[in-house]
A and B are shown apart, each in its own frame.
Chain A
Amino acid sequence: MTTTDQWIPSTCGLCYGTCSIRGHRVDDVLVKIEGNPESAIGRGRLCGKGVSGIMTLYDPNRVNVPLRRTNPVKGKGVDPGWQEISWDEALDEITARLRKIHDDDPRKLFIQRTTTNTSIRAPMMMFAAAFGTPNSWAAGGGLHCGNGAHLIGGIYHASWSLVPDFQHCRFAIYFGASKGHGAGHVSCTNMQDAADARARGMRLVVVDPMANFAAAKANEWVPIRPGTDAAMALAMVNVILNDLGVWDAEYLAHKTNAPYLIGPDGCYVRDAETRKPLVWDAARGHAVRYDTPDAAALALEGEYEVAGVRARPAFVLLREHVRQFTPEWAEGISTVSAAMIRRLAREFAAEAMVGSTIVLDGKRLPYRPVAAIYFRGSQGHKNSVYNCFAIELLNEIVGAADVVGGALGFNPVCYGHPETGKPWYEPKPGPDGLMITGTWVAPHLPYPIADPKPPTTMSLGGLFPLGMFGPTMASSDQEELWTKFGLPYRPEMMLNYGANSLLSVGNSDTVAATLARIPFIVSFDITLTEFSEFADIVLPDTCYLESLDSRPNVPFIFNHPAGLGEWSWPIRQPVVPPAGQRRLATDVLVELVDRLGIREEFNAVANTHLKLDGSHRLEFGTRYGYEEICDRELKSHFGAARGLAWFKEHGVISWPKRVEEVYWRAFLGVRVPIYWEFLIGLNRNAKRIANAHGLDWDDVWYDPLPRWLPCPSHEVRDGAFDLWGFYYRDTLHTNSFTNENPWLDEASRLDPFSYTIALNAATGRTKGLRDGQEVTLESPHGRRVRGRVHLTETVHPECVGIGGCAGHWAKTLPIAQGKGVMFNDLLEVDWAHGSPVNLNLDTCVKLRIVP
């Protein structure tokens, strides 16, 4: 027998970073995974997870055949009594149930997917749109992962998130972010770029309750009490604007709504005829529409008589508003000293070098080498919107957004491959001149904001148009809220792709109760998880190394490297053929489309969503397999010669980025809001609807300017609960699914933090605890988890940190079972712990240690 030896280019799928890989296949066995040096996504280097995928592929506990439960009783730890069935049997039953729902009320279908495999997002959302259900979410992802951070990223940077311009930034301050330190979007490339920035001398200050990952590499660690980032950031804004008097007038006047005139009612003063907001043109000596082409002297200060009212530029309101947020006030809330806040504000303002420019590629551009970066830490709270908004203001007031050296959105602008001009997108001005993103990932754009409506979806999203997903998808009070709002249906069936929502949302009892109420659940899984125990049918999915897909890194605002360099569009393809009866889930989805007779709808959505054009569009009446759709998408973007066959051979197409794409802010006429005037109308209308349905309302969440608002954890009065629990990302694990990988498990068992409860050493000693001692943590709601403490100097004395999403109990995951601690089991999933402005779930919790 001759040996075949191949290196097959594809894409990692062990986290949503989707780094480009090459699989070394000898005969039919995968023997090594390396990074693909030809792609900008990872540049040939992978994290510890990425190289360990072999053990996920070859896990003997993988599901190989479709399964149907025989035990009608559903519950945590209840054996479903799996029985093997054929694919035909499975799909017949699924089709029959889907058809019934489709004919009756498609909204009764609840679609859930994991955040880990980004490639499923588009097909699942396309399926949902074609089927006609608005009830879809990324389980666990949306509630606390990025409802606020992505919203603010979208509104200010037209991107899912932001990083410092690693190539030019001189001073970055991270608030609960780990960009460049081994987790998250663009993980592997960011690690390289951040290491280069460190070597170059970029100063990094990390504000975080824990000095792990980013803070471990920082020049300075600023320990902070969880959920108080807004207080610290607002005090810094106050110092910069009111004590130091530093701001970028040019940027504020032309790139934000800072000059928009605000009347006594807090709303824009508008042009009577066009309804466009007015600004004060100091040169003309009167108010003009904000988009008056030759208006150059837009006032940021003063008070004016306009259209019969006293009006002031929004910037004046901001400066006045933040005066109340003194560093001393912020110290009391955040534990960060007033002196530290003043010093950091001074450094940030000075390093911003307001007014300076730099020439790149023959173009003179603003140079602001500072960046304030927020992510999971500042975001994972009830007040995520104001936390992130407040931090973002640091970038905005000094003009450090998407300019050289500043805070960069990842790739909000793309002008396409030089030969085809595709993919092409850029932000554009929307209502009131404020920016609409050029591309997006979630079901609705961050801006413009829809009018609130009486909710008709499971998440109550219509009433909360700033949110993406809401806790009511899996909350303890979902039935109460649905009744309150008269939701005219209940979920009758769930289609789950790979999400283990038992572990990834909040406490598992609450989630289990919501799942047990859903009459029929179908789940695409690679292994049987705690979630699968609630499924009626499990379909054996291909893992990422057996899968095909044309768009693992699309859209580029999600996980493509920022900064100058190269664009790369890779594909994912099977490195080995699927074993057993595993089938590519997207192909199954397309088959269901056909069986259901919604092919026209699906093809119409696909044409739009994938931007298929010319001869590559799908005819409404024709059936296409998923592979064919992938081929057409690639050809639509890169020409008829570069279809799937070309990509299977080459793996990736790359081309250089342009200065106009990376530092687009200077080139595009869009503005962003430093004053969220739109919240006033939103509040009025949403409140009316909420009150009419008996939901209490608090206007404080809808102020156009940010403030610090307490999390439920800050309001616990019982002194016995003397610790704040928070979750952090562990580089070794993604959501819950990598705990079953034995190489990663081995590394975790040796790591001092992965599977333990990190507690400040002095705090631990006061409590008489030893390193390694088993303890129980208890929340004020009586939720408990058990684990070993790791006494460390790297945690805030008031806090305990728990990494990852571990603590599996399913026997079907023998490697993962019983390892680590499930932090989420301490979290309430209910209305009181969700944000009344964007539905974000709070993920910090007061705790006490019980023996």
Chain B
Amino acid sequence: MPEIQLKLMGSLGRLAGERETRLLVDEGATVRDLLTLLAERYGPEFAGAIFRAPGEVHTYLRAFLDERDAELGDRVAREGGAPAAVAVLIVPGFEGGSR
């Protein structure tokens, strides 16, 4: 299983009780899979911050893969080499419009 370097930014770090960690993810795991995993790992309050409703990720959630904006369907796992750096963050719901 590939390893990722995870950073939980802003309020998520407090909810999780840790700000940085390394995690093993499934081959082919997507951002959405990772979020589901994190929700289980860190419990209901954390899950509530990520999911608006079951399976529905908050519009305020942003994930970054090696500092680039990541979509929910993007793969987080990288074959070989250094582990991917994944950062997750809740941004305020202002402006935020994009294509």
Contact = CB atoms under 8 A, between A and B. Distances in A.
B67 A439 contact: no
Interface stretch (A52-60, A130-138, A722-730): A130-138
Contact of A107 (B14, B45, B89, B97): B14
Contacts of B98: 424-425, 611
B43 interface: no
B93 A444 contact: yes
B79 to A, nearest CB: 23
Given A107-B14, A130-B10, A600-B87, A444 B95 contact: no
A247 to B, nearest CB: 32
Interface in A536-585: 554-555
Interface string B54-87: 0000011010100101000000000000000001
Contact of B9 (A107, A122, A601): A601
Contacts of B91: 129, 605, 608-609
Nearest to A104: B14
A584 B70 CA distance: 33
A106 B64 CA distance: 22
A455 interface: no
A764 interface: no
Given A450-B52, A604-B87, A604-B89, A134 B96 contact: no
A127 to B, nearest CB: 10
Given A601-B10, A605-B89, A605-B91, A439 B96 contact: yes
B39 to A, nearest CB: 15
A132 B11 contact: yes
The secondary structure that dominates the A interface is: loop
Interface residues on B, range: 20 to 34
A315 interface: no
A130 B9 contact: yes
Contact of A424 (B12, B13, B92, B97): B97
Interface residues of A, number: 44
Given A107-B14, A129-B89, A604-B89, A438 B9 contact: no
Given A106-B11, A132-B10, A601 B94 contact: no
Interface string B31-54: 000000000000001001000110
A608 B93 contact: no
Nearest to B56: A431
Interface hub of B13, B91, B92 (most chain A Cβ within 10 A) = B92
A46 to B, nearest CB: 27
A342 B94 CA distance: 41
Interface in A587-631: 600-601, 604-605, 607-609, 611, 617, 619-620
A125 B96 CA distance: 13
Contacts of B59: 436, 445
Contact of A440 (B10, B48, B90, B93): B93
Contacts of A611: 95, 97-98
B25 to A, nearest CB: 20
Given A129-B89, A445-B59, A604 B95 contact: no
A443 B93 contact: yes
A439 B93 CA distance: 8
B46 to A, nearest CB: 12
Interface of A: 105-107, 121-122, 125, 128-134, 423-426, 436, 438-445, 448, 450-451, 453, 456, 554-555, 600-601, 604-605, 607-609, 611, 617, 619-620
Please name the 4 residue pairs, one residue from A and one from B, whose CB atoms are nearest each other, closest first: A425-B97, A132-B11, A439-B97, A443-B92
14 contacts: A106-B14, A125-B92, A132-B13, A439-B95, A442-B92, A451-B52, A555-B94, A555-B95, A605-B89, A608-B91, A609-B92, A609-B95, A611-B97, A617-B67
Interface of B: 7, 9-14, 45, 48, 52-53, 59-60, 62, 64, 67, 69, 87, 89-99
Given A128-B92, A450-B52, A607-B69, 5 more contacts: A130-B10, A453-B48, A609-B94, A611-B97, A611-B98
